[in-house]
Amino acid sequence: MSVSSDLRLAWLLTRGADRLERRRAVLTALGATAATGFACAAVALASVRGQVQFPYGNGLLDQPGTRRGVVAGLLLLLVPVLGFLGQCARIGAVHRDRRLAGLRLAGAGPKQVRRIAALEAGLACLAGALIGYAGFATAALSVDRAVDPVAWLGAAIVTLAVPVLGVLVSAVALRRVIASPLGHVRREGAGRGPGLLLGLLLPVVLVMLGAGLVLVRGSSGTAASLPLFVVGAVVLSGTGAIWVAGTAARLIGRRFAPRTERPAVLLAAHRLQEDPWSAARSHAAVILVTVVGVGLAGLREVMLDQLAANEAETGVPQDVGYYTYGLNLTATAVLIALLISLAALAVGTAESLSSRRRALAAQVAAGVPRRILTRALLLETALSLTPALVLATLGGTAIHTAYARIAGQSVPWALPLLVPVGVGAACLLATATALPLLHRSTHPSRLRVA
């Protein structure tokens, strides 16, 4: 079958979707709307040339250098959005089991079924992209200055590119999904992932080495060299923490599954042992946001202390509002990224529960209390996320410590250490949003679901 036929089938499946499928489509459209809005805003700011006077932004958008920083921040927000779209695609594949099986019985191959499911996500992304473009157009027409035609062209290209990107992300997310003609949707066995040396020890050693280099360089370097080390620390710490999340989940599962006598810990350990890298995929964006959040919290404290020290030394009032506006804008962007990441985590948790709803119903029918399953679900998140948050905190701490050494200020500890605590609590709350689905999945009627 051709791509046009697959697209027609995807459209028919979208029109005939049930309530649960419509919710998935709404979530996908919201993610596409956010991606389009961020990208269009970045394109509009990038199209501005030279020094200009904006009536808003407290001068942050007037200089080309600071505008480039804002553009980079907007583009970085696309990372958690794409992760959210991938989670939506996975949960959609599980709930479309009967229709996917019908397509297999009609002669469609596994790859074609995954392509049709990805095109369904593309249609939802198209609707969301059009909404995002409408929001951009409304905002652009309401400003005092005329928007450059290049910005309009770039926004139009972004609107067309987001659905294509949504299809590609969905195709990647569904690459391990297999639809059976007998009515099952299952996944290939989880990969082994890196071993103990690569998955746990090597990331820790690399992060500590990178932190040491940042601190040594920071003591003799300048603030101009800090961005390079910030990017390196974020990438190194984030990647290492993601590896640690999967490796720690596997090690915890192996250790506690055969030894613990607590039912909730036993269930959580068996689940982590069964698919340890599912936690790493779900927590990836949250871990990266934690690295940036810890570093930003420390940078804010150091920068404000430095401004106060300069004002006391020179007697010249400092433009604190200029810096605080930029810091607040960055913090808002990090918070938005965190909210999107938490939404992806909630969707991933719902997907996990949906894929094993028959097993959950069987456990309840065998006498397992629902409160035990609730605790096990929360422990799955807490046990795999905690080691990764520790490593992410080390990376973020290295960032603001290096800047503090450059500025000659004391290193703040209290506020940055509150960030991982808040992120961990928020992740547990995001996981708890799936508890109503857990209770519905354990109804005895689910035993008839194949």
pLDDT of residue 187: 46
| DSSP H helices in 108-262 | 110-142, 149-173, 196, 202-220, 226-256
pTM value? 0.73
Q: What is the pLDDT of residues 143-158, one digit of tens each?
A: 766 777 888 898 999 9
pLDDT of residue 134: 92
pLDDT surpassing 50 at residue 185: no
376 vs 272: CA distance, rounded Å: 10
pLDDT surpassing 70 at residue 321: yes
Q: Report the mean per-residue pLDDT for the chain.
A: 75
Q: Pick left, alpha or beta for residue 81 (phi over 0 → left; psi -120 to 50 → alpha; otherwise beta).
A: alpha
Radius of gyration of the chain from its Cα atoms, rounded to whole angstroms: 24
pLDDT of residue 418: 92
Q: What is the mean pLDDT of residues 108-126?
A: 76
pLDDT surpassing 90 at residue 421: yes
Of 345, 359, 357, whose CA–CA distance to 427 is shortest? 345
Which sign does the torsion angle of CA 158, 164, 170, 171 carry?
negative
pLDDT of residue 172: 72
Q: Confidence class of residue 20 from pLDDT cuts 50, 70 and 90?
A: low
Q: What is the pLDDT of residues 223-261, one digit of tens each?
A: 445 555 566 666 666 666 667 777 777 787 777 777 777
pLDDT of residue 144: 65
SS3 177: strand
* Alpha-carbon distances of 14 from 105, 121, 181, 298, 425, rounded to whole Å: 19, 9, 20, 47, 36
Q: What is the mean pLDDT of residues 436-446?
A: 75
* Alpha-carbon distances of 13 from 78, 179, 315, 441, rounded to whole Å: 28, 16, 69, 24
